[in-house]
Structures are given as structure tokens and as C-alpha cells.
Structure 1
Amino acid sequence: MSDDATVVPVDPETTPDALIERFGRDLVNDFDLDDPAFNEKFDETLNFMVRKCPVVHSKVGRGYYLINTQDDVRAAAQNWQTFSSAKGYMPNRPEGLPYLMPEESDPPIHTRWRAKLNPHLSPKTVATYEQAVRDDVNELIDRFIDRGSCEFISEFGALLPGWAFFKNVLGLPIDDLAMLVNGVEEGTFHPDLSERARHFAEVFGYLENHLKWRATQPSRGDLIDTILAGVTYDDGTESPWEHKVSILVDLTFGGIATTTFVMGSAIHHLATHSDQRELLIGDPSLIENAIEEYARFFPPVVGLGRTTTRDVEVSGTTIKEGEFVILTYACASRDPRHMEEPEKIDVRREGIPHSTFGVGPHRCIGSNLARVELTATLEEWLKRIPEFRVKAGTEPTYVTGYLRSMRTLQLEW
């Protein structure tokens, strides 16, 4: 080594030994979304990675990368030409699972479908559902308020998003919601990849049968009719049947799999922070901003994947063409480069720069409906059950992968 050579010091917190001691594995070189330690140390891991590890690698299955800073996530999400969605958003995708349109496609196919679908979930359209959603919130509360306790997820959180989406948008029977919720949950989190595929196949089969039935019925002018009508692609071909089925699966998946986590986490936070509960009760005008802060801090989507179409460098790491890369929205929403004290919940925070609903062309189509559900929940719950707490001797339980889900939350009042 020459006398004038510069040695860049290694951050002692990111050495393999330090990471293994703290997190149970080398996060930088051997990350695993499905590791129980990630589920248990979720917040700590996110906060650490966004500050210390802009890019990490996983050796699990076929392997994948995670990119974690807000600037890198936003740049990649906007650059679909380099970070393609056309090979799916799930790491180590189960064999034989059809791609979900339009989420797992690129422009111009993605653009064609979103142009047709967006009006059904626009702010103007979703505003017409507000009273119906509020009525559903109160119907669910009616079932347990006099009991003085509830298991929030199964009795409320896992039901309301499906009710809101099925009744108002899809016109699907809510009697079948439990089966679909279970199919989506097991299809996402089951430790056996073949079981994930089986559960997803059941969801596909049910929704395809419904779509076939609707094709025999008079037009209602709703979202399903728009899906059945399809789109014409740039090459002049009509969208095939399997694309229409996957559109319905994709929308159903998003409609029932994500809002529950933000909802449950917000209620848990208020149950364990009486000062925050009193703040929102005293000034309900803060609820709109609180929802954005809760969505930032309690991310149901940890990250969604892309496939690189060329060699690309991200924060000093070269990622080769054909690699699977996860845009870690959950980390990006805690980037200290873009906000003060991101590890804290502050419902008065101004200009909340979160990525919970995604970034770029694939930004969540259902975000407007999710906000209506969350607003109705917080407003009605705090009016009717202003004093509540976590049942003594219990804690919420979670499961984590590329999504995060709260499985149980015992409340009493």
C-alpha cells in the first residue's frame, strides 16, 4: 500500500459479527424477509437499515436485493425501464402463479389498464362510499360494544376493508370474505411456498368463477364490467381472459390485505397512548393528518419487487441485469434525510413524505378508499369507545414477509 492511500473506515455497527449479535443474521449480505427475527425486531430493523444499509442482499432462494433510502426507492420506482414490474413483485415467486395485472406489468400495458380502472377508485367516486363505509363501521362496533371487549382483527379490522371493497366497488357477496382473506393471508405468509401457491390458486379460481358469472349478467356499469370489457393493447390485440382474471385478483388482494394493518396498528397505538387518544378526541381535525402519519409508521407493504433490465448502480452497489430488487417502501418512509425523528409518531408532522402507497406509475390504486376506511374507523371508534386499552396479559401478534400483518389484538373498555 502506498503512503498516500486512503483507508475508508468500516462502520463497526455494520460488520457481520455486529449485525449477527444484534439482529441474529448479517442484514447486509444475508437478509431474509421471512426471518422470525425480522418480525420481532421490525421497527429496529427498518430504522437501522435506512440509516446504515442503503442496499442489502438476501441469499434466500434465488436471492434478491433490497434498496432502502427514500431517494433510491423513488428513483427506482419512477424508472420502470430499468426496474421492471413485468416479472412480478414477490421474491422467490411460487412456480406457476400467474402474474397479477396491472401491478405486474410495465407501460404501455400498465398504462392502458390504469386509465380504465382509475375512475372507479378516484377521490370523487370514493367520496360517494363514505356514508356506507361509516355505516359499516358502526354495524361492526354494535356487535361488541356492550360486551366491553373484542378481538379487533377478526371482529373488525379484517372485516371492514373487505366489506367496503366488496359492497361498494366489486358487488361481491361478503359471505365469502373469510375464505378470501384466509387465501390471501396464507398465500402471502405460509412458510411452505407450495402451500402459498395452493391458496393463491383457490383465490384465483373463486374470482374467475365470479367473473364468468358476471359475464352472463346484464351490465351494471361497475368496475367488474370495465374489467370484462378489457382494453386494446398498443399492438392492436385485445386483452386476454387471463389478464382480466388477474386484474380482479390483484384488486381484491389489495382491497383486503393491506388496510387492516394500518387500522389495527393505529388503534393499538391509541390504546397504549392515552395522551394521543385524548389529542384526537379533543381535536378531530387532526385525524386526517394522523392517518398519513400512521400509514407512514405502520407500513402494510414492506416492499415490492422489480427485476433489473440492465446492470445498475445503487448507492455504490452494482446490481446485475436480471436480479430481483425490492423497493423497501417501509424503510423509505423512515428516512432521516427527509424528516426529523422518523422513529417517532407525530400526528402534527407537516408534509409527511411516506411511500406506504407506493411511488410512480404503480402507486396504489386503492389509496383513496383506504383513507376513507381509516377516517371512518378513527372518527366513529373514538366517538363511541373513547376509553379503551389492550387486554391485560396480552400483546398483539404479527407476521411479516414482503407484507406485514397484525394477526390478533385483544381490546377491552
Structure 2
Amino acid sequence: MAFKAQETDFTAPTQDDIDESIRKYGRDIYNDFDLDDPVFNDKHFEILDDLVDKCPVAHSKVGKGYYLVSQNKLVREVGQNWRTFSAAGGYMPNRPDGLPFLFPEESDPPLHTAWRSALNPFMGPAVINDYEAQIRKDANTLIDAFIEKGECEFVSEFAAVLPGWAFFKNVLGVPVEDLDKLVDGVEQGTFSPDLEERGAKFGFVFQYLGDYLKQRSEQPPRGDMVDMIAAGVPYEDGTTSPWEHRVSVLVDMTFGGIATTTYVMASAIKWLAENPEARQLLLDDPDTYMPRAIEEFARVFAPVVALGRTCTKDVELGGQQLKEGDFVMMVYAGASRDPRVVEDPKTIDITRETVLHSAFGVGVHRCIGSNLARLELRATFEEWLKRIPEYRVVEPPTHVSGYLRSMRTLKLAW
């Protein structure tokens, strides 16, 4: 007998909904979805809202096919039930052949628990807070380079650089001059339309970080996270994690450290340019409103659009019968826009006292870097507004979307 995830009644999209989808987007997003379709990039929020409103479980025919859940309740059901919805099959649909898994993200307990227990102390609030002075200094160094020009391309000159500097300098100890190569590897490995290129770019990242981890393992210990990863962790069966697992963990941490915060940062800076009252509120009372603004920006501008899980058994989810081996994607970006849990979710309101969102994931796989991301965002908004309180958007930004979303360009002037 199939495991039944929920007893709630769910209503599938009507034929009118499907016809409207084809009219608006050129395809039936409920039964023929494609994360990489340019229309999902161009009409991102509109499509997310339609999925949340009208479709408990959407389907994609791309490659081997996959399902998507966007409503908050279903995203949490999948994310919190790793025994039925396993991360061990990977988080990306139609995974390129030969691409190594990223631990601990693409694993389940007890392997996941072993690594997260060892990593958590290096990413906790007390440790991350010690990075604040350096991150603020770096933010001002970047601003120094363009403030006198009266303009900048915010993504390439700031938002794509600061997260990497923060992670490389404070966590990894990797030379910052190598940042561009790794950012390119991560971005092309994520967004390239050529699946073979995605695999090749990820291969470069694995090779680079594997070489770095080997070097560090032969050097005197520094007592940091890289030392811990190089030494490995004990597994439940009494063995120590193999070398390839250790490299995988370093790649996973680096990927998260340089691939996600940019979108939230740039999108928020754009929105603040267009909302002077909110800018003033953050200038006048940052202690009250900055933490709320950061959570609201993370809710609306979720960089991790959707991550996948593999069904370990037949299961009913959102009124849809899924089979063992089916791939289900949790649309975090949709769950954070669900009117069932967020009042007026389409409105950006930095005064919300409580902001419920799924931007950092749900369940045991929740983002380990959330403390660092929040610090980077706070340092950015405070230092930017202190030095450039009045600015404007020169031309519309450009984006790229898939299972992640990123802003590629944002031209500002003041």
C-alpha cells in the first residue's frame, strides 16, 4: 500500500487555467514545466504565483521528467521527510552523468548528520560575528573603487565579489585572485544550457578544490573548517569518510558560499533604489528594520528557486500519486509567496515583524550558511546606504534562472 503523505484535499488546475497558461507563457506550466525555459526567467514571479495558486503538483517532461511542489505545506512535507523524499539522489533534475554528489547536501542521515555536526560549529553565530569587521572593510573597499565615478555595474563590481571575498578570506583561506575562476565554474556549472559544459565546469571546481584540500592537509593545521574537512569525520559504520567525500564537502560549502547571496543582495539594492521611504527607514532605525528587511528580501528574492528529492517509495503528495524513484522539486521561491502562510505575499514590506520564508530551506538540510549570508546582507545595506544614500537604476537588470536564480547586471548611478 502506498504511503500517504497528507490527507488534505488539493485541486488540480482546470482546463481554463491550462489555456490561460498557454496564452501567457506559451506552454502549459502545470503539465509541461521547464526550469530552463526563458519564459521562467522573464516572467519569474508571475509563474511562481500561478504555481502556488493553482497547482499543488506540477510536472515537467524535460529529460527523465520531474515534479514540482510550490505550496508551502507541500514544500515542508517533502523537506522535512527525508526518509520518503531522499536527498541522496541529488538536488538537480536530469543530473549530468558522472557528476559527483555534493556532501552533505546530497546525502541523508546518518552520513548527513556526521558532516553537519562537524561543520555547524564553524558556521555558528559566534564564529560568523567575528568576520563582521573584515566584511564591512571589504564592502567599503569595493565601494571606494567606483564611488567617485558616480556609477557602477553593481553585480560585477560588488554583489558577485563580496560574498566570495567573505567566504574565501574568512572561511576557506583560498587566494582571492582565484575567485573569478571558481565563480565562473559554479555559475556555468549551474546555468549553462549545455549539460556537458555544466559537467566540465563542475569538474574544474572539484579539481581546484581537491588540489587545495590536498595542499592544506600537508600544511601545519590552522584550526579552521578546512582542517576539519581534510581530516574527515567518523561514519556510523566505524569507518572514516573517504577522501572523495571530503573534497565533495569542500565543494558544497564553496558552492553555497559564492553562488547564492548575490541575487538577494542585488535585488534588494535595486528595490531600495526605487523605494526612498524604505531607504530612509533603514537609515533612521537600522536596529529595528534592518533585520526585518533582510528576512523580507530573502523571502521575495529567493536565490535557491527549487531543489529536488527522490521518492524512496510510492507516495501520494498533493493529490498526485508518485512512484518510487520519481524526482520531486521543492520550489522554495514559491513556498515563500504562498498566501496561505504570508499575508499579501506579493508586496515587499520591510516592516513585517514576522517573516515566514523558505529561502534557506527546510528540514535537516536547511542552509548551513544562513548566518554568514545575513551578515553579508546587513553589512552591504548599511555600508552602501551610509555612503550612497541617493542613487537610481540606470537600466533594467538582467537575470538568469533555473533551479537557482541570479542577477547578471544592474547599472546604478548617483
Instruction: Indicate the TM-score class for this superposition, using the shorter chain for normalisation.
Output: over 0.9
Q: Where does residue 181 of structure 2 map in the other structure? A: 179
TM-score, reference length from structure 2? 0.96
Q: In the alignment, is the contact (CA less than 8 A) between 2:89 and 2:309 conserved in 1?
A: yes
**Structure 2 letter corresponding to 1:50:** V
- Partner of 1:390, secondary structure, is strand
Please say if 1:401 is aligned against 2:402: yes
Please say if 1:40 is aligned against 2:42: yes
- Partner of 1:326, secondary structure, is strand
C-alpha distance in 1 between matches for 2:282 and 2:216: 43
Please say if 1:266 is aligned against 2:268: yes
**Structure 1 letter corresponding to 2:302:** P
State which of 218, 221, 226 in structure 1 corresponds to 2:220: 218
State which of 279, 283, 286 in structure 2 corresponds to 1:284: 286
Q: Where does residue 5 of structure 2 map in the other structure? A: none
- Return the offset for 1:15: 3.7
- Return the offset for 1:16: 2.7
Distance 1:10 1:331, change over 3 A: closer
**Structure 2 letter corresponding to 1:82:** T
Please say if 1:231 is aligned against 2:233: yes
C-alpha distance in 1 between matches for 2:279 and 2:48: 26
- Partner of 1:32, secondary structure, is coil
Q: In the alignment, is the contact (CA less than 8 A) between 2:12 and 2:54 conserved in 1?
A: no
Q: Where does residue 5 of structure 1 map in the other structure? A: none
Q: Where does residue 357 of structure 1 map in the other structure? A: 360
- Return the offset for 1:47: 1.2
C-alpha distance in 1 between matches for 2:314 and 2:408: 39
- Return the offset for 1:12: 5.1
- Partner of 1:163, secondary structure, is helix
C-alpha distance in 2 between matches for 1:9 and 1:109: 38
Deviates more, 1:113-122 or 1:229-238: 229-238
Q: Where does residue 3 of structure 1 map in the other structure? A: none
**Structure 1 letter corresponding to 2:342:** M
Question: What pairs with 1:362-381 in structure 2 (closer than 5 Å)?
Answer: 362-381=365-384
C-alpha distance in 1 between matches for 2:115 and 2:168: 20
Question: What pairs with 1:11-410 in structure 2 (closer than 5 Å)?
Answer: 15-285=17-287, 286-391=289-394, 394-410=395-411
C-alpha distance in 1 between matches for 2:235 and 2:159: 38
Distance 1:389 1:53, change over 3 A: same
C-alpha distance in 1 between matches for 2:374 and 2:278: 19
Q: In the alignment, is the contact (CA less than 8 A) between 2:336 and 2:342 conserved in 1?
A: no
Q: In the alignment, is the contact (CA less than 8 A) between 2:217 and 2:231 conserved in 1?
A: no
**Structure 1 letter corresponding to 2:115:** W
Q: In the alignment, is the contact (CA less than 8 A) between 2:30 and 2:59 conserved in 1?
A: yes
C-alpha distance in 1 between matches for 2:384 and 2:29: 39
- Return the offset for 1:10: 7.9
- Return the offset for 1:313: 1.0
Q: In the alignment, is the contact (CA less than 8 A) between 1:14 and 1:52 conserved in 2?
A: no
Q: In the alignment, is the contact (CA less than 8 A) between 1:13 and 1:19 conserved in 2?
A: no
Q: Which blocks of at least 5 consecutive residues in structure 2 are unaligned?
A: 1-9
C-alpha distance in 2 between matches for 1:355 and 1:195: 30
Distance 1:103 1:388, change over 3 A: same
**Structure 1 letter corresponding to 2:398:** T
Deviates more, 1:165-174 or 1:12-21: 12-21
Q: Where does residue 4 of structure 2 map in the other structure? A: none
Q: In the alignment, is the contact (CA less than 8 A) between 1:58 and 1:65 conserved in 2?
A: yes
Could you give the per-residue CA deviations for residues 374-406 of structure 1, whole angstroms, max 9, x where no partner exists?
Answer: 000000100000000011xx2100000000000
C-alpha distance in 1 between matches for 2:271 and 2:62: 33
Q: In the alignment, is the contact (CA less than 8 A) between 1:46 and 1:331 conserved in 2?
A: yes
- Partner of 1:118, secondary structure, is helix
- Partner of 1:135, secondary structure, is helix
Could you give the per-residue CA deviations for residues 333-356 of structure 1, whole angstroms, max 9, x where no partner exists?
Answer: 011001210001001112211000
| Alignment RMSD (CA, Å) | 1.3
**Structure 1 letter corresponding to 2:42:** E
- Partner of 2:412, secondary structure, is strand
Could you give the per-residue CA deviations for residues 61-84 of structure 1, whole angstroms, max 9, x where no partner exists?
Answer: 110000111111112111000000
Q: In the alignment, is the contact (CA less than 8 A) between 2:110 and 2:236 conserved in 1?
A: yes
**Structure 1 letter corresponding to 2:336:** S
C-alpha distance in 1 between matches for 2:231 and 2:182: 24
C-alpha distance in 2 between matches for 1:203 and 1:50: 35
C-alpha distance in 2 between matches for 1:334 and 1:350: 17
- Partner of 1:353, secondary structure, is coil
Q: Which blocks of at least 5 consecutive residues in structure 1 are unaligned?
A: 1-7
Q: What count of residue pairs does the alignment treat as equivalent?
A: 404
C-alpha distance in 1 between matches for 2:305 and 2:197: 21
C-alpha distance in 2 between matches for 1:279 and 1:353: 21
C-alpha distance in 2 between matches for 1:86 and 1:73: 17
TM-score, reference length from structure 1? 0.96
- Partner of 1:408, secondary structure, is strand
Could you give the per-residue CA deviations for residues 189-240 of structure 1, whole angstroms, max 9, x where no partner exists?
Answer: 0001001001100111110110111111000000100001111111111100
- Return the offset for 1:128: 0.7
Q: In the alignment, is the contact (CA less than 8 A) between 1:161 and 1:259 conserved in 2?
A: yes
C-alpha distance in 1 between matches for 2:84 and 2:406: 30
Could you give the per-residue CA deviations for residues 231-271 of structure 1, whole angstroms, max 9, x where no partner exists?
Answer: 11111111000000000000000000000000000001011
- Return the offset for 1:18: 1.8
